[in-house]
């Protein structure tokens, strides 16, 4: 489970099979990192934008928001929320927008993957 000190409304964590914990400012950055790096995932956690709770990949869904830290404009919420998308739908949305950035997201495109850092 994520460390309580790593709190941000949009935070995400990737726990690797070899014990590393990578922190991200935005779920979209986690998806971008996975796309660009061959990493064996042990677990994924996403901070619920509507509560002070961490959600596992089995508990999470995603909603569109007007603004997020790195401009992906998605936020984690509990599965079953109105107008939400699955983890895989969110991942595909982010990756598609990275390949064809709109004017809105073009400014943040150069930052994908730079927010990851290892911690224990």
Q: Determine contact, residues 55/46, Cβ cutoff 8 Å.
A: yes
pLDDT at 55: 96
Kindly state the average pLDDT of the residues 83-87. 93
Q: At what angle do helices 87-99 and 27-36 cross, to 10 degrees?
A: 70
User: Higher pLDDT residue, 69 or 115?
Assistant: 69
Tell me the average pLDDT across 55-65.
Answer: 93
Model confidence pTM above 0.85: no
Secondary structure element (H or E) that encloses residue 96, with its range? helix 87-99
Helical (H) or strand (E) element with 41: strand 41-47
Task: Locate the domains of the chain by residue range.
Answer: 12-102
């Amino acid at each position: 489970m994520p460390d309580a000190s790593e709190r941000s409304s949009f935070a995400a964590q990737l726990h690797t099979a070899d014990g590393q914990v990578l922190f991200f400012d935005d779920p979209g950055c986690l998806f971008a990192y996975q796309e660009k790096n061959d990493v064996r995932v042990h677990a994924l956690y996403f901070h619920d934008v509507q509560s002070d709770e961490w959600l596992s990949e089995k508990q999470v869904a995603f909603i569109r928001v007007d603004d997020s830290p790195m401009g992906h404009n998605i936020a984690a919420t509990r599965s079953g929320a109105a107008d939400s998308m699955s983890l895989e739908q969110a991942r595909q949305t982010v990756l598609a927008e990275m390949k064809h950035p709109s004017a809105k997201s073009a400014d943040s495109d150069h930052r994908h993957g730079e927010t990851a850092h290892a911690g224990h």
